[in-house]
Amino acid sequence: MEGMDSVAVMEVAPVPDPLFVGATPLIPAPPESELVLRRSARCLGKPRVPVYAEPEEPKQSTGRRGRPKKKRDEENQDPAPQVAAKVPRKAAKVEPKERKPMPVVGPEPVPADFTGAAAEDDALGTGKSAKLRVKETLRAFNSHYLHLVQEEQKRAQAVIQEIAAKGAAKNKDGKKGGEGEAKEKRPSKRPDLKAVTKMQENNSFLYTEKVLGPIPGIDVGDQFYSRAEMVVLGIHSHWLNGIDYMGMKYQEKKEYENFTFPMATCIVMSGIYEDDLDKADEIIYTGQGGNDLLGNHRQIGSQQLNRGNLALKVVDDWVQKGVQGHVVYKYKLKRLEGQPSLTTTEVRFTRAEAPRKISELPGLVCDDISGGQENIPIPATNVVDDPPVPPSGFVYSKSLKISKGIKIPSDCAGCDCEGDCANNKNCSCAQLNGSDLPYVSFKNIGRLVEPKAVVFECGANCSCNRNCVNRTSQQGLQHRLEVFKTASKGWGVRTWDTILPGAPICEYVGVLKRTEEVDGLLHNNYIFDIDCLQTMKGLDGREKRAGSDMNMPSLHAENDSEAPPAPEYCIDAGSVGSFARFINHSCNPNLFVQCVLTNHHDVKLAKVMLFAADTILPLQELCYDYGYVLNSVVSADGEIVKLPCCCGAPDCRKRLY
Ligand SMILES: C[S@@+](CC[C@H](N)C(=O)[O-])C[C@H]1O[C@@H](n2cnc3c(N)ncnc32)[C@H](O)[C@@H]1O
């Protein structure tokens, strides 16, 4: 059963790789091949915004997270949106008629002021930066996707159970049946395609017009996890075709009167054409058609000079016999001058180079800051200080320490499932979560379907096994991470692995204390208030979470009041903590905070977990929104303490507090 589950997910899970060069809308194509999913993308467009644009050195100060008393400062809510550089794209022309061999055609100049319909950073007038809108669109897609995966897993489970039951009955009669039959019979569904359709129905695609030239919010070097993501952003509208283009109807539009159509807006290089040549800065691209699409890279037929193959305007093109002897059209593309360098030597394999060996890391100051406590070692590097020093002043602990006088209850009833609760549709822990389990399982790692008011996990009183998907936050470190010294935020944490939305990162651990114990403490930047009630209620600028209106009688009584009291407990990671204490704040974060309950139902003492909000690529820094209320940090002499934010996000609020 477990194997069957993961097959269902693997069939539908998009896996990284290709490239694009422009933008487009979508006509949702029917599912054509699983191979489409074996792709991701990187774009060639306008120059990249630096990842760490860190304005100034922050002052050391005091404060703690999640103590919302006032509304956020208006002035810091809404920073001026960035305007994207207008970088006109060069284009070259290919005549739309059969030629053998095709002549070399020079570039057709694009009018100097032409930057495409969506070139302004806030062309949609949302008041949000284009980067943020890209992120929000991807989050919406991933949210649909995870819900649909959950739906599909449940459906598959039901089919398996039904067929297994039939099989058992048949076996009784001496006939064949059971799981093997289920594997054969269960039709494959594509949650990613369904998610795209949902977004199209809701008009939630980011860009719905095809664009020539740079696309706001998309930079050279950006990576996408799947074709579906590119479709909902409006970068490339096809599931399968490598070339997306503007057809002849654009010829009639005034703004395009100087152009020759069809004209390509975006290509995807997926690695399935054996005749492609990929040198990152120069690509020899094979036109579309004639591939058997089985992932074995084989060309089984000749290509036609039509549709997308007519639309590419490139520095050179020709027709030749491919490796299998079939006619293929070839296009030479070169990167525009002045674009930032790429992190890989091939376009289609886009994973940034994560270091292979800890010992070879530049600036290595510690092989494993956890001293062997975590599942995976966490090295620390420092290329900022001279001499380089390791992080110090704390004792590593991967679990929460409890202050004297605080008792964590362990009184709640558990479920009586066998094995994994995902296989029991009547699991009592699933009921606590609203009916479905909060997680779906991918390759035996749980992913949280959506941020929730609170997550009820299986705990000590449950009879399911230790690997049950509803114990996802208890499985320890799942990804290779590095603690590194940043230029202006002190230490930070980055990943070496691709982390997918909803994946667990860590628990925020330290010493569990009463907040009154730490009130007035100066110079402790590592205190985390347990403020689930605020999160659940969606107070002080926070987003209201799914499940916050649910009738959860087991939750603490304060949950019912409109204005919950200030948090009673906090986690102090000042002197004891894990790598979580090094995770910095960002106004545009890639992690989110999630309260989790396991052995009791007192939200005042909930576990504080961090989960991935987005696809986080290798070498990206992990960060979450500390959620400080501006002007809420006050010094002993009554002065408001301010800390500038150095997160570098286009929508940065400029201050942490
Ligand atoms: C929990 S610690 C994070 C780890 C910290 N960087 C360190 O070196 O230990 C929080 C402190 O890190 C710094 N910090 C975190 N995010 C920051 C940001 N976006 N801008 C400036 N400073 C930041 C601030 O000094 C903050 O009080």
- Asked if residue 499 lies in contact with residue 615, where contact means CB atoms within 8 angstroms, the answer is yes
How much is the pLDDT for 113?
30
Does ligand 1 have an atom closer than 6 angstroms to the CB of 582? Answer: yes
Domains in the chain: boundaries: 127-166+189-334, 352-549+564-656
pLDDT over 90 at 561, yes or no: no
Decide: helix, strand or coil at residue 2: helix
Ligand 1 neighbourhood includes 647 CB (under 6 angstroms): yes
Q: Per-residue pLDDT averaged across 404-419, rounded?
A: 91
What strands, in cross-sheet order, belong to the sheet with 327-334?
Answer: 277-278, 282-286, 327-334, 316-321
The helix or strand, by DSSP H or E, that contains position 201, with its residue range, turns out to be helix 191-201
Q: Find all residues with CB under 8 Å of 578, minimum gap 6, and list them.
A: 370, 374, 396, 397, 398, 506, 507, 509
Which pLDDT band, with edges at 50, 70 and 90, does 238 fall under? confident
Reply yes or no on whether the pLDDT at 156 is more than 50. yes
Going by pLDDT thresholds of 50, 70 and 90, the confidence category of residue 114 is very low
For residue 652, is pLDDT > 80?
yes
Number of CB atoms found within 10 A of residue 340's CB: 13
pLDDT value, residue 483: 97
Q: What is the mean pLDDT of residues 301-315?
A: 70
Whether residue 262 has a cis bond before it, omega within 30° of 0: yes
CA–CA distances in Å: residue 32 to residues 241, 422, 518, 579: 10, 30, 59, 44
Q: Which of 533, 539, 555 is nearest to 434 (CA)?
A: 555
> Residue 79 burial (CB < 10 Å; 0-12/13-18/19+)?
middle
**Residue 364 pLDDT level (bands cut at 50, 70, 90):** very high
Supply the DSSP string of 70-104, one letter for each residue.
SPPPHHHHSPPPP-----PPPEE---SS--SSPPP
Cβ-based neighbours of 270, under 8 Å, separated by 6 or more? 17, 18, 35, 36, 38, 39, 242, 348
Residue 110: pLDDT band with limits 50, 70, 90: very low
Closest atom of ligand 1 to 60 CA is: 25
129 and 112 in contact (C-beta within 8 Å)?
Answer: no
Residues 294-303: what's their mean pLDDT? Answer: 69
Comparing 391 with 353, which gets the higher pLDDT?
Answer: 391
pLDDT exceeds 70 at position 622? yes
Question: Is 523 in contact with 60 (CB distance < 8 Å)?
Answer: yes
Whether 585 is in the pocket of ligand 1, judged by its Cβ within 6 Å, is yes
Residue nearest ligand 1's atom 11 by CA = 525
Instruction: Report whether residue 646 contacts ligand 1, using a CB cutoff of 6 Å.
Output: yes
Which among 369, 641, 656 is the best mutation to test ligand 1's pocket, defined by most ligand atoms within 8 Å of the CB? Answer: 656
In this predicted model, what pLDDT tens digit does every residue of 196-219 receive, in sequence order? Answer: 999 999 999 999 988 888 889 988
Q: CA angle 613-617-623, nearest 5°?
A: 45
pLDDT higher than 60, residue 643: yes
* pLDDT at residue 382 in the model: 96
Q: Could you write out the DSSP letters of every residue in 468-511?
A: -GGGGGGS---S-EEEEE-SSSSEEEEESS-B-TT-EEEE--SE
Percent of the chain with pLDDT over 90: 37
Query: Ligand 1 within 6 A of 234 CB?
Result: no
Interface confidence, given as ipTM, is 1.00
Q: Is the CB of 58 under 6 A from ligand 1?
A: yes
Average pLDDT of span 132-160 = 90
Q: Which of 525, 586, 625, 626 to mutate to test the pocket of ligand 1 (most atoms within 8 A of CB)?
A: 525
More confident of the two residues 169 and 446: 446
Above 80 in pLDDT, residue 547? no
- Does 59 have pLDDT greater than 70? no
Atom of ligand 1 nearest to the CA of 573: 1
Residue 525 Cβ inside 6 Å of ligand 1? The answer reads yes
Residue of the CA atom closest to atom 27 of ligand 1: 525
Token couple for 434 = 């609203």
Query: End-to-end CA distance of the chain, in Å?
Result: 50
User: If pLDDT is split at 50, 70 and 90, which confidence band does 100 have?
Assistant: very low
Higher pLDDT, 232 or 40: 232
Q: What is the DSSP letter of 46?
A: B
Q: Which residue has the higher pLDDT, 58 or 122?
A: 122
Ligand 1 atom with the shortest distance to the CA of 626: 16
Report the distance separating Cα 181 and Cα 198, nearest Å.
Answer: 31
Say yes or no: CB of residue 569 within 6 Å of ligand 1. Answer: no
- Cβ of 427 less than 6 Å from ligand 1: no
Which atom of ligand 1 is nearest the CA belonging to 585?
Answer: 16
Bridge partners, residue 246, by sequence: 263
Locate the ligand 1 atom nearest the alpha carbon of residue 526 and give its number.
Answer: 1
At 41, phi and psi to the nearest 5? -150, 155
Confidence check: pLDDT of 37 > 70: no
Cβ–Cβ < 8 Å for 535, 454: no
The SS3 of residue 20 is: strand
Ligand 1 mean position, distance from CA 490 (Å): 6
- 127-166+189-334 CATH: 2.30.280.10
HEC string of 466-478 equals CCCHHHHHHCCCC
Q: Are 457 and 470 in contact (CB under 8 A)?
A: yes
* 447-487: pLDDT as tens digits: 999 999 899 999 999 999 999 999 999 999 999 999 999 99
Residue 297 pLDDT: 63
Are 417 and 445 in contact by the 8 Å Cβ rule? The answer is no
pLDDT at 444: 80
* Mean of pLDDT values over 406-415: 90
Query: Ligand 1 centre and the CA of 259: distance in Å?
Result: 51
Q: Could you tell me if the CB of 490 is within 6 A of ligand 1?
A: yes
Check if 526 has its Cβ closer than 6 Å to any atom of ligand 1. yes
Would the CB of 578 count as within 6 Å of ligand 1? no
pLDDT for 373 beyond 70: yes
* Ligand 1 close to Cβ of residue 489 (< 6 A): yes
Atom of ligand 1 nearest to the CA of 485: 8
Q: Which residue type sits at 352?
A: A
For the CA of 587, the nearest atom of ligand 1? 19
Q: Which CATH architecture fits 352-549+564-656?
A: Beta Complex (2.170)
CA of 352 to the centre of ligand 1 (A): 25
Is the minimum distance from the CB of 133 to ligand 1 under 6 angstroms?
no
User: Tell me, what's the pLDDT at 305?
Assistant: 74
- Ligand 1 center from residue 264 Cα (angstroms): 45
Phi-psi region of 597 (alpha: psi -120 to 50; beta: other; left: phi over 0): beta
Residue 581 Cβ contacting ligand 1 at under 6 Å? yes
Given a cut of 90, whether residue 506 has pLDDT beyond it is yes
Residue 288 or residue 583, greater confidence: 583
Three-state SS letters, 258-281: CCCCCEEEEECCCCCCCCCEECCC
Measured over all CA atoms, what is the biggest interatomic distance in the chain, rounded to whole angstroms? Answer: 85
Mutation probe of ligand 1 site: the residue of 52, 384, 396, 489 with most atoms within 8 A of C-beta: 489
CA distance 611 to 472: 11
Distance 252 CA to ligand 1 centre (A): 55
Of residues 131, 72, 56, 103, the one with CA closest to residue 489? 56
228 lines ligand 1 (CB under 6 A): no
Instruction: Indicate whether residue 584 lines ligand 1 (CB < 6 A).
Output: yes
* Least confident interval from 217-231, 410-424, 566-580: 217-231
Name which residue leads in pLDDT, 522 or 384: 384
Give the rounded percent of residues in the chain with a pLDDT score beyond 70: 65
Ligand 1 pocket residue status of 89, Cβ below 6 Å:
no
Minimum mean pLDDT range among 29-33, 199-203, 501-505, 557-561: 29-33
Cis ω for the linkage preceding 88 (within 30 of 0): no
Angle between the N-to-C axes of helices 191-201 and 130-172, in degrees from 0 to 180, rounded to the nearest 10: 130
- pLDDT digits 0-9 by tens, 75-90: 233 222 222 222 222 2
In 344-446, where does DSSP find H-type helix? 428-432
Which residues is 402 bridged to in the sheet?
A: 512
Nearest CA, atom 24, ligand 1: 489
